[in-house]
Amino acid sequence: MTVNDIIKLMPTALDSAAAANMQNTIQFDISKPMYLLIDHGKCTAHDGVADASDVTLTMADDDLKALLKGELNGAMAFMSGKLKLKGDMMLAQRIPSLFDASRIA
C-alpha cells in the first residue's frame, strides 16, 4: 500500500465529531501530491495541489506513510527535519486526533 493509497482511505477514518466545526485543507507535498478537504465533519481526498491550503506537510513518502499509520511521532519527525510544515501548525498537531490510524493502517 502506497502513501497515496493511505491518504485516499483517510476520509473513512475521520472522527466527524472532532471535525464538525472545521473547514480546512491539508496539503501533502509528496512524490505524487495530494490534499484533504475537511468540511464540517466530512472529508474528501484529492490528487494534486490545492488552490490554497491551511497547512502543507512536506515529507518523504515512506516517512509520511509511517506518520499516518501512527508509527512515527509527528513532533520527533518535525524536530529531526523529516517533516517540514508550512501554514497552520496547530492544525498539523490536530491531525492525529482527527483520524483513527488503526482504520488506515
Neighbouring residues of 33: CB distance < 8 A, sequence distance ≥ 6? 27, 47, 48, 49
* 83-94 residue pLDDT tens: 999 999 999 999
In contact, 39 and 64? CB cutoff 8 Å: no
pTM of the model: 0.94
* 63-73 residue pLDDT tens: 999 998 889 99
Split at pLDDT 50, 70, 90, the class of 103 is confident
Beta bridge partner(s), residue 87:
55
What pLDDT score does 98 carry?
Answer: 93
How far apart, in whole angstroms, are the C-alpha atoms of residue 76 and residue 49? 26
* 16-61 residue pLDDT tens: 999 999 999 999 999 999 999 999 999 999 999 999 999 999 999 9
